[in-house]
Amino acid sequence: MAAKPTTQDSFLSRLLHNQILIPLAALLLLAVFNLIADPSFFKISLGHNSNGDPVLSGYLITIIDYGSELAILAIGMTLVTAASGGQDISVGATIAISGSVLLRVLCGTDTRPEVLHSPIIVAFLVSLLAAMLCGAFNGALVAFFKIQPMVATLILFTAGRSIAAWVNNNELPMITEARFSYFGGYIPGIPIPTPFFIAILVFIATWALLKFTNLGLYVQSVGINEKTARLNGLNPEIIKLGTYVLLGVCVAVAGLIKVSRLSTINYSVIAKDIEMDAILAVALGGNALSGGKFNMSTSVLGAYVIQFLTTTLYKFDVQSDALSAYKAVVVIILVVISAPTVREKTSAFFRKLRTPDGAAKRG
Amino acid sequence: MSAPKTTGGFANRIKRMTDTNLLMSITIIVFILMYLCAVLFLREGFLKPQTLFNIMNANAALIILSCGMTLVMITGGIDISVGGVTALVSMCCAVYLDYHGGNVVVSMLIALGIGLAFGLVQGFLVAYLEIQPFIVTLAGMFFARGMTTIVNTNPFNVVNQSFVDLKETRITIPFLGSVNKKGVYVNAYIEIGVVVALLVVAVLFFTLKWTKTGRNFYAVGGNRQSALMLGINVKKTVFLSHLICGLLAGVGGFVYFMHVGSGSASHASGAEMNAIASSIIGGTMLTGGVGNIIGTLFGAMSLALIQNIVSSVGLDQAWWTGITIAGMLCLFLVIQSVIIAQRRKTGSKE
């Protein structure tokens, strides 16, 4: 009799630990692999960029630099996943749209402006609006028309890059202003890449929003059981729509970083396949892809782990186009491990192993 | 697009129609209207039967892919790996034919084998491990695209003689030819791919309509729980739908390869999207249990036709195609959602 609470307790604690365990284990595995293959992977050196400002460089810095927009997307994707039980696969295309709008406002009709047409903050707000509109479009299809999230977002997934090209008449505006490159590069005097700070900022803002309003709880309850949530006085449609709009905000921030890195845009290549990485980050963070309970910080950790994987693969001269094949294998392994039927089978298997063992000890 | 309420008899007949037939009729009517408009406003091209045949030639692969997609969607799943599989098939066949001097029959077997392999693995993961089909096939799509690049990076044209002969084979259709600018009578023709596509449509149509397995697909998609209660092997049915879809992706890949005659990593980009769009426009419901292969055929043709119209109107910049397809898909999704909701509401009142 007394054994019952303890098993429940250990099960609970195991569940609690489980979620952060997956990304941590993956991180550890990758780190050990790199340590054995080439310890210089972890070297960080302080150098100077072309402007003479101090910058840190090294593979680890690359990871926290390029993993940041992924982390930002993962934050929004976690919420969308939790509320609607599906994923938004249009984030890459929406980044293209918001980036294109950003450049359009900054440059006007001139493709190589000497001075910017409008302040960066105004351009960012306009692109934010565009991305939120895209999010609202997706959210409306999902919430009000009850279309599966992945199919609803398939619409923007195809049309998004076309719309992005159309916004700028298929021209590729170039920005020479140095201030604009701070967002995706370094602020003079600070040797740590700016995207990392932006990611931390977004994370804290979202965390505060979820903590101090009841949004986090509402999102969870809608994801767990929509009908019950409605009976408890929540409006599931509005909450779902809200998560998609929030993802739109994340997309706009990620778009700003992406465009700022290059000071220009390439409609068909920018943020390509990032939707896959974002979904992978959520899955790696131990969140159920079918909605319900979620943990934002493990998703963020998952995002950096994926960037770790990407950087490792690049280091071993894997072609960028072939990357997706390796990542697909990782996804399949992950989802197979986390599939309920597989978990049941394995736990049953372990129980079978343990029983004769325990019996022997007792005897 | 409100429900027609012209006469009592007509309205009643519509009410009595099954969801499948209603959605399919809408598609066929839309297709015919679009073609009539095209003939009226853009006369020259669209009056010739050959224009229709050209659309079919260019979209035979799409029709085959959409048929597989419809089957999976009727069962309540989705498969977005078909475009990637198509690219992988054409690249593998191209490399085999040109770099290893292979023969055409073996390359067909390779195509079928690749399709079957994808169908088997994805079907197993979806049906027996109960993983969301979207995640599995999304991974499948990325895997196929990545593998295509690993097999060969650069696009190239196939010069293998027996393959080129097969590719150039035309089937002439009597009496439907037209007189060209020089005043010479030219026979209308279709490619082999179209015959394959129509064959696939016919076989699947009969299977879905009149065999036990075919009806099982509808039962499982309509309500999994009741299907289980009726003694249908749900897992096997889901597995079978993904298997057939994978196999058809292999067939479609080879038909695509026969049409373009080259291997490239960027082939069939967005084909999965077009296939899903064709199925949805053809009246297949995403929720499963509703759908028809003939509707899918018309859906694919409508999609191809609207692209054709858009480019002949003069909006031939690349982005218009993407935007029109997405717009059309969005429209049909919303129509479906609204019509079905409406019917459920009135149905429950009666």
Which residue has better confidence, B152 or A206? A206
Nearest CB neighbour to B131, from listed A151, A324, A335: A335
- Nearest-angstrom CA–CA distance, B85 and B145: 8
Q: Which residue has the higher pLDDT, A136 or A14?
A: A136
**Closest among A332, A323, A239, A226 to A279, alpha carbons compared:** A332
Residue B4 lies in a domain: no
Helix, strand, or coil here: A50?
A: coil
Domains in chain A, CATH or no CATH each: 59-346 (1.10.3470)
**Has residue A362 got a pLDDT over 60?**
no
Asked, for residue B10, whether it belongs to a domain, the answer is: no
What integer is the mean pLDDT of A35-48? 79
Q: Does B117 contact A at CB distance below 8 Å?
A: no
- DSSP state, residue B175: E
In a domain, B14, yes or no: no
Average pLDDT of adjacent 10-residue blocks, chain B of 350 residues: 51 71 83 84 75 87 94 90 92 88 86 95 91 85 89 85 83 73 75 91 92 91 88 92 95 92 82 86 83 90 85 71 80 80 64
* Mean predicted lDDT score pLDDT of chain A: 83
Tokens of A305: 């782990």
Nearest Cβ partner of B326 from A86, A145, A159?
A: A159
Residue A246 · residue A206 · CB < 8 Å:
yes
List, as ranges, residues 66-95 from B with C-beta within 8 Å of A.
Answer: 78
- Select from B128, B131, B319 the Cβ nearest to the Cβ of A162: B319
pLDDT at position A12 over 90? no
B323:A166 CB<8 A: yes
Whether residue B333 and residue A152 make contact (CB cut-off 8 A), yes or no, is yes
> A150 touching B, CB under 8 A?
yes
pLDDT > 70 fraction of chain A, expressed in percent and rounded: 91
Q: Is the Cβ pair A326, B146 closer than 8 Å?
A: yes
The answer to whether B249 and B87 are in contact (CB under 8 A) is: no
- Whether residue B5 lies inside any domain: the answer is no
Are A340 and B273 a contacting pair at CB < 8 A?
no
Query: Structural domain tally of chain B?
Result: 1
Output the pLDDT for position B316: 62
Tell me if B137 is assigned to some domain. yes
Q: What is the pLDDT of residue A18?
A: 61
A167, A279, A324, A334: best to mutate for the B interface, most B CBs within 10 A: A324
Name the closest residue on chain A to residue B325, using Cα atoms.
A159
**Mean pLDDT within A86-114:** 87
Tell me the mean pLDDT in the region A202-225.
Answer: 89
CB atoms under 10 Å from CB of A272, counted, come to: 17
The pLDDT value recorded for residue B350 is 40
Q: Spell out which residues of chain B touch residue A331, defining contact as CB-CB under 8 Å.
A: 135, 138-139, 142
Residues of A in contact with B141 (CB under 8 A): 328
Task: Please list every residue in chain B whose beta carbon sits closer than 8 Å to the beta carbon of residue A321.
Answer: 145-146, 149, 153, 265
Question: Taking a C-beta distance cutoff of 8 angstroms, is the pair A150, B134 a contact?
Answer: yes
User: Is A140 in the B-facing interface, judged by CB distances under 8 Å?
Assistant: no
Least Cα separation, residue A3 to chain B (angstroms): 32
Higher pLDDT, B184 or A313: A313
Closest residue in chain A to residue B271, using alpha carbons only: A158
Residues 6+ apart with CB under 8 A from A82: A219, A220, A223, A243, A287, A291, A292, A293, A294
Is the model's pLDDT at A218 over the cut of 80?
A: yes
If one counts every other C-beta atom within 10 angstroms of the C-beta of residue A280, the result is 28
A328 and B323 in contact by Cβ < 8 A? no
B328 occurs within a structural domain: yes
Chain segment A129-162, per-residue pLDDT in tens:
999 999 999 999 999 888 888 778 888 887 888 8
Test B319 with A170 for CB contact under 8 angstroms.
Answer: yes
B317 touches chain A (CB under 8 A): yes
Q: Which residue stretches of A145-273 are H helix?
A: 149-167, 194-212, 215-224, 226-231, 236-262
Inter-chain residue contact B286 with A165, CB threshold 8 Å? no
Give the integer Cα–Cα distance in Å for B55 and B301.
8
Is residue B9 one of the residues assigned to a domain?
no
Q: Note whether A333 contacts B: Cβ–Cβ < 8 A.
A: no
Pairwise CA distance, residues B296 & B276, whole Å: 10
**Model pLDDT, residue A6:** 47
**Intra-chain end-to-end CA distance of chain B, in Å:** 23
Domain residue limits at B155: 20-349
Cβ atoms of B73 and B288 closer than 8 Å:
yes
A:271-310 residues touching chain B, CB 8 A cutoff:
273, 276, 279, 283, 289-290
Give the tens place of pLDDT for each residue, B91-104: 999 999 888 877 88
Read out DSSP for B243-256? Answer: HHHHHHHHHHHHHH
Among candidates A146, A279, A324 on the partner chain, residue whose Cβ is nearest the Cβ of B145 = A324
DSSP letter, residue A145: S
Q: What is the pLDDT of residues A17-41, one digit of tens each?
A: 566 777 787 788 888 888 888 877 7
* Chain B residues inside the 8 Å CB shell of A332: 125, 136, 139, 143
Which residue intervals of chain A are DSSP H helices? Answer: 3-37, 59-84, 91-107, 120-143, 149-167, 194-212, 215-224, 226-231, 236-262, 274-284, 296-315, 323-338, 340-362
Distance CA A268, CA B43 (A): 35
Average pLDDT for A302-321: 85
Q: Is A139 on the interface with B (CB under 8 A)?
A: no
Q: How confident is the model at residue A13 (pLDDT cuts 50, 70, 90)?
A: low
Whether chain A has a CB inside 8 Å of the CB on B155: the answer is no
- Measured in angstroms, the CA of A333 and the nearest CA of chain B are apart by 10
Least confident of A94-103, A184-193, B10-19, B129-138: B10-19
The pair of structure tokens assigned to B128 is 């027996």
Q: What is the CA radius of gyration of chain A?
A: 22
Q: How far is A224 from A236, CA to CA, in rounded Å?
A: 11
CA-based nearest residue to B279, from B345, B204, B215? B204
Does the ipTM surpass 0.90? no
Question: Tell me, what CATH number does B292's domain have?
Answer: 1.10.3470
């089957």: which residue's tokens? B71
B271 touches chain A (CB under 8 A): no
Cβ atoms of A265 and A154 within 8 Å: the answer is no
**Mean pLDDT across A259-280:** 84
pLDDT, one tens digit per residue, over A52-62 is 677 777 888 88
Is B3 contained in some domain?
Answer: no
pLDDT at residue number B243: 95
